[in-house]
Chains A and B, each alone.
Chain A
Amino acid sequence: SQQGEEDPQALSIQEGENATMNCSYKTSINNLQWYRQNSGRGLVHLILIRSNEREKHSGRLRVTLDTSKKSSSLLITASRAADTASYFCATAHTGGGNKLTFGTGTQLKVEL
């Protein structure tokens, strides 16, 4: 299986703090994406970083990619209670077309 893994599995922080979650994968990729899932709902796309990029920003989100280590991190700055959700990384592997392989997810809880 090419499935990646997120770390940590669960993260609990206070509102206003930054949240960092990591993703590791196994084979070469075209791009890596992060998705968010509110409890019991479908996933929503957050951000995409291509294999030739090292860092990308979108609002309070910052994603880094290290292809030599086959890893990525997602940083959410100044977290809010509404950020409470599960976050998944997904990789588009070289030669895999538009298929995405998802990691196991990080459950983020932001407390007031």
Chain B
Amino acid sequence: DVKVTQSSRYLVKRTGEKVFLECVQDMDHENMFWYRQDPGLGLRLIYFSYDVKMKEKGDIPEGYSVSREKKERFSLILESASTNQTSMYLCASSFSGSRGNTIYFGEGSWLTVV
């Protein structure tokens, strides 16, 4: 079975802190994604990566950065956390090309910024 593991399920951080959300997948997927989920807004794509060290902005990249130094790991970084970044963050991965139609999600990380 595909496993996408998000290291932290629940985090509480203070405004202005630097926050790291880590995600690891074990299926040798080329693509990795970070989404943010808020009530009434569905899932919105923050960043995605289609290869090691490659990244592309999604729909809402402001206030976030990402790092992909190894194929299996994709990190989301909040340089200076703000209260409007309180949300559920979902990591996902997929193959590229025609094998990449299905994406696999982690269990989510609930971040509260106070």
Contacts and interface: CB of A to CB of B under 8 A. Distances in A.
A25 interface: no
B74 interface: no
Contacts, number: 58
B42 A40 contact: no
Contact count band on B: 20 to 34
Given A42-B90, A42-B107, A101 B45 contact: yes
Contacts of A100: 45, 103
A3 interface: yes
A31 B98 CA distance: 11
A42 B35 CA distance: 11
Given A97-B50, A98-B101, A103 B42 contact: yes
Interface of B: 4, 31, 33, 35, 40-45, 48, 50, 58-59, 90, 92, 94-97, 100-108
A3 B40 CA distance: 12
Contact of A48 (B4, B58, B101): B101
Contact of A98 (B4, B43, B103): B103
The 10 closest A-B CB pairs, nearest first, are A42-B105, A98-B100, A104-B42, A102-B43, A43-B105, A45-B102, A42-B107, A102-B42, A98-B31, A42-B106
Contacts of A42: 4, 90, 92, 105-108
B74 to A, nearest CB: 14
Contacts of B42: 3, 88, 102-105
